[in-house]
Amino acid sequence: MCRALRRLGVGHADLKDVSQELFLAVHRQLATFDATRPIRPWLFGFALRFAANHRKLARLRDHVSIDAMPHHAPPAPRDANVEARDLVLRALETMPYERRVAVVMHDLEGWGAPEIERELRIPLGTVYSRIRLGRIDFRDAVTRLSREQGEP
């Protein structure tokens, strides 16, 4: 669930707190789970709601000025896998939320379009459209961010 939360826009600094709250909510609601249905969509629904709530709260907290931020030493060199993961996360953050959710669910979490349709309660054609447009958004964001970093 932590991976899904991160992909849905929960920042690394807040990931432990949000995932802890999510797991507490899951524990409280466990008695309402219908064991005849798959658990993955039920759990992902929690992740969607918690990520959306986190994004709303984060907008309220974004009033902190840069000058108030502590100054740190330059970061240590990072390996290519970490850089690639960060590029993917930054690209996802630039995407419209609805498209990001569809791409994360389909391409990164492995959900089928009909599963996404049922979970998000949107028409199947809308699911396919969001995935297609989200992939275009993602590709464009990766290209732009790579250029900004001076990568090929």
14-30 per-position pLDDT tens digit:
888 888 888 888 899 88
Mean pLDDT of the chain: 82
Which carries the bigger pLDDT value, residue 3 or residue 74? 3
pLDDT for the residue numbered 63: 46
Q: Could you tell me which residue, 119 or 69, shows the higher pLDDT?
A: 119
- Residue 126's pLDDT is 97
For residue 127, is pLDDT > 80? Answer: yes
Give the pLDDT score at 117: 94
- Which structure tokens are listed for 32? 């309402």
Residue 124: predicted pLDDT: 96
Query: Is 35 or 69 the better-scoring residue by pLDDT?
Result: 35
For tokens 């290519």, the residue is 80
pLDDT > 80? residue 96: yes
pLDDT greater at residue 122 or residue 2: 122
What pLDDT does residue 30 have?
Answer: 87
